[in-house]
Structure 1
């Protein structure tokens, strides 16, 4: 059944000549307003406008539960030479299941595809799209109006990384995950009480395999139906915002799965991915790689990024696996990759895409941030594009994570031989706007939990972990901690279970969580600990050379000369008595944090709350402090 006249009229309302031109040019970044399924009014009743990009199709039809999945009944019509097929189906409204039946010009290939621009899909293993809308009454106006200050480079960003499906579960109901709405208030209250400023969700976009944690995305405009509807996710983000918590979403433009219903081989050709397997197939993940040189693919991906920022009020995007995008030879052997036009290994199309992505995001939303998970020494990842950078707001410091965890896992007797693992970072710490991640990747696949990595008996394990967190918060950079680490989960993370919440009934675990909460609060309250996180003027070593004692001491400075915090870390289980360090001024220095306090599960050693500096020069400074350093401890002292 054809709707030729009616479809042409509705089609002209949906697509202007400018829309089609900009899409084919690669500069249309609101495709979610145009492509996909959009409920409309038809002759006083309901209907849906469908449109899909399939330039190599001989015919495209909409199939669904409204027509018995009959591919001959509701044919779409081509929109000029744009490659877009469109049309209206009267009587179809919100909640209707549908797919696109594509018949290719090539080899008679036929396939039913999920809508690349659908707002909602069936729960896997089912694969149909669902006609839906994005209507929601947001209540986060106060947050949105003032979020610039919460997301600024000078703000204290302490990020709680969450896999939504395994934070909490309902064991009595078949071990099911909590939904978006069920999680909203408990998660918001927990994160607020723990002092974190932001939540970062592992990908919530639609993905067919739960075990991929969301990193094999099929729905670039649809949240996962595992946890509820689009409005349910909006409610979760809304509640977090109302509790003063920012939301960062993981987003994966680096690759996509090969499932037949997805983007791969979409119209009988390699439409979204490169045709050559040396460019279009990722050997590590058995996935396809986007063709960033194709205009329409750039429009698709940038539209997706902006969609989550606009329709879902996200405060930032963490872009996954950037290194795999930048290098043509990433994880490929000799002869398995194709050099660029200059003979190099850099993916010039991906570089251009990333720069344009960040330009468009910051132009439209200067109050959000983008974060690059980039594991190499690629320069200027978090520097503006006009300077030659990639334009990200921040970059994960993967080198710090690797060096620090390698150091912390050592028996303390050997740490003095690896002192540079602690100090090397400051040689490059201000080359980028860094986030220090203790992420999900470090607590899976046999790596053990953070607590399990620590050496020694149980007391020493907890003391080491408190010390690790103290050292992390002392460093100039933003912070990220994966869920469960804050209370010392013993087991490594499992995506099909929940966190070991029962451990919080035990004093060492409750004490550890209190330590993290107090670190977060001090980080937010003390300008010296966050204002110049990304500015070399905010950091000085006091003494980074005491490898023999495995002690480091440093000074953090705010923009005001009055804001000074000294941090001293003792990485051995031996208390250091009468340990002297130089400080820049006299007067009283208050001990604002001590990881060995009894409230955290420590032994209670310390400096009785404060120490007076004496006019004895040391470490190139006019005054000095004589301190008691507890075993395996981090001390924070504030001037005044």
Structure 2
């Protein structure tokens, strides 16, 4: 761990340092005099700082740290020193003393931490962690013209040992990577892996932002996980939380006797909001984002709870917040931070996918900062998710009264680079599983879910599905036990897994389903207004001229000889039917069909097809008739 230069101190205090982890935290060293470790802690309001650990019998007073001063002799706010006898893997904490009090604190920049309920930091050999990780080379096409099919996972419950204990990063990698490859996912998105004291927080309430959770092993284990995924062609996205942190006494709250990292409590979660007006906190967070991307090789970050950062009145009543200097409700510090974050990441880890979970109509979330945007690459389409799941929960006989819920998203589709998420938040806390949300009897539930998956995979926007949804787990996600794979002993679940695999493969193989997501040329309604029959049909195109017809029927009535308008004359072949008997359907499928010069849906040409009950079909123009 290097000693900070005067320029480092300047950038850190200015809020623009992007690799502050290179000189803050702890690192094991060796020399002629034996093992030792360097420690450096930011605690500007402390009266004294000491290090207590395995190496000194937890007698902090024998290991004091000293002021780090700038070239003018001014105190930088950082305390540092070398402790003889400290070794790699020793546990330690920082004793922070201030006027009127003291506390043992975990190191905010520690690269490793003890397994809960223990809370100490762990001395690491930083040479085993630092050093830019290899990431797949950048594709030539713009990121929004590439397929993105994300599998969201919580490592603690994706798979466990038979006795219920956690698997290591390596054990998980060796199982998950080939599975996702076989299922044709492009990326895994991992729920937060920073150290956190409470399993039920899922990692969203952190104490060690630089520590991969020790539930699954050490930093080298996580690096192996990412490398293994990359070797299978799977990108890895990390869920990252710069909005708030937990108030546990060993963590960031009241770190040096003051509200150093955050002043305000979040009204929803009982956590503290990061103080984004403080330059050093910005350096801490932006360096953390760069750390995961640059040193571990993550391919992107999904930024949690962006809406809670953007609005001063988020979940606050009148009188509980103060307007900004312009008299508005926008959190100008958060806006500036997010723009700085995305610009910094692009410089330090170019090509990283920065994804916003933002649930409001804030403009230009996924636009470049140079064009007035926040600088994210993608935004979760929470509006589509809420509307679509609400629609699918309706009994088919009532869906005709809610038809706008499946068509409205196209009115604003081109305003952002959207991801369509069916995430963990929708299958927990009594909301039920995806299959559990579907109406009808057992067969109809599976038919509805196959229909829902086809609609999502053919609708413009990149894709995300939470683990367990691929085989229709009936119980909602439980954060205390592994996924229920016992259901794969039943035909319906096995066939649904095969269906999702086939649908994912189709998505990757057909550029019309992703290449022009962000262009009006890539999508055309055929019939958006058939509320009476509760059907929706549209066409998708690729840049090379591929033309797909997607037909979705949201009622249990099947149709023979259904005439559907098409933009292109010629021969059509079916690529997939959700009603195929292979997937548990009733067998309503299509073979080759040829267009006729019969007007339908305002188009000069049309085809006659079989439309399955509660089903979807995707057809492709195989040979043009022009």
Question: For this structure pair, what is the TM-score category when the shorter chain's length is used for normalisation?
Answer: over 0.9
Structure-1 separation of matches of 2:436 and 2:362: 32
Give the C-alpha shift of residue 217 in structure 1.
1.1
Structure 1 residue 163 and structure 2 residue 146: aligned? no
Structure 2: distance between partners of 1:312 and 1:103: 34
1:489 aligns with 2:480: no
Which residue matches 1:15?
Answer: 4
- State which of 51, 59, 64 in structure 2 corresponds to 1:62: 51
Equivalent residues in 2 for 1:553-632, closer than 5 Å: 553-561=537-545, 563-607=546-590, 609-632=591-614
Residue 552 in structure 1 maps to residue 536 in structure 2: yes
* Cα distance per residue 1:293-317 (max 9 Å; x no partner): 1000000000000000011100000
Is 1:101 matched up with 2:95?
Answer: yes
Structure 1 60/329 Cα, relative in aligned 2: closer, same or farther at 3 Å? same
Q: Which residue does the alignment assign to 1:339? A: 323
Normalising by structure 1, we get a TM-score of 0.94
> Does structure 1 residue 502 correspond to structure 2 residue 494?
no
For 1:527 and 1:598, the matched residues in 2 are separated by 27
Check 1:154–1:133 CA distance in 2 against 1; reply closer, same or farther (3 A cut).
farther
2:345 match: 361
- How far apart, CA to CA, are the structure 1 residues paired with 2:7 and 2:129? 31
How far off is 1:557 after superposition? 0.7
Where does 1:184-583 land on structure 2 (aligned, <5 Å)? 184-274=173-263, 280-561=264-545, 563-583=546-566
Once residues 432 and 595 of structure 1 are traced to their aligned partners in structure 2, the CA distance between those partners, rounded to angstroms, is: 29
State yes or no: 1:637 paired with 2:619.
Answer: yes
Equivalent residue pairs, number: 617
Deviation at 1:465, TM superposition (A): 0.1
**Structure 1 residues 523 and 149 mapped into 2: Cα distance closer, same or farther (>3 Å)?**
farther
**How has the CA–CA distance of structure 1 residues 417 and 227 changed in structure 2, closer, same or farther, with 3 Å as cutoff?**
same
Counterpart contact for 1:140–1:241, Cα < 8 Å: no
Deviation at 1:264, TM superposition (A): 0.5
Q: Please, what TM-score do these two structures have when normalized by structure 2?
A: 0.96
- 1:118-157 equivalences under 5 Å are 118-135=110-127, 144-148=135-139, 152-157=143-148
Asked if the contact 1:213/1:495 (under 8 Å) is kept, the reply is yes
> Do 1:42 and 1:90's aligned partners in 2 also have CA atoms closer than 8 Å?
no
Distance 1:168 1:150 in 2: 35
Specify whether residues 218 and 395 from structure 1 end up closer, same or farther in structure 2 by C-alpha distance, changes over 3 A only.
same
Q: Give, in whole Å, the separation in 2 of the partners of 1:509 and 1:573.
A: 20
CA displacement, residues 106-138 of structure 1 (integer Å, 9 cap, x when unaligned): xx2100110000000001111110001345599
Deviation at residue 482 of structure 1 after TM alignment: 0.3
Cα distance between partner residues in 1 of 2:131 and 2:95: 40
Instruction: Please state whether the residue corresponding to 1:567 is helix, strand or coil.
Output: strand
CA contact (8 A) 1:151 1:315 kept: no
The structural deviation recorded for 1:412 is 0.2
With 256-265 and 43-52 compared, the bigger mean Cα shift is at 43-52
Q: 1:186 to 1:134 in 2, by over 3 A?
A: farther
With over 3 angstroms needed to count, the CA separation of the structure-2 counterparts of 1:149 and 1:458, relative to structure 1, is: farther
Contact 1:151/1:367 (<8 A) preserved:
no
- For 2:128 and 2:574, locate their aligned partners in 1 and report how far apart those are by CA, in whole Å: 48
1:151 & 1:216 partners in 2: Cα distance? Answer: 34
CA contact (8 A) 1:134 1:230 kept: no
Shift of 1:505: 2.1
Aligned partners of 2:28 and 2:126 also within 8 Å: no
CA displacement at 1:618 relative to structure 2:
2.3
User: Which runs of 5 or more structure 1 residues have no equivalent in the other structure?
Assistant: 1-9, 275-279
1:4-46 per-residue CA deviation (whole Å, 9 max, x = no partner) reads xxxxxx9xx6111111111111111101111000223444532
SS of 1:176's equivalent?
Answer: coil
The counterpart of 2:103, out of the listed 89, 107, 111, is 111
Q: Which digits, 9 at most, give the CA deviation of each residue in 1:219-241, with x for residues without a partner?
A: 11110001111111111111111
2:83 aligned to which of 66, 89, 102: 89
Structure 1 position 407, deviation (Å): 0.4
Worse-superposed segment, 90-99 or 36-45? 36-45
CA contact (8 A) 2:54 2:90 kept: yes
User: What residue number does 1:38 align with?
Assistant: 27
* Runs of 4+ more than 6 Å apart: 137-141
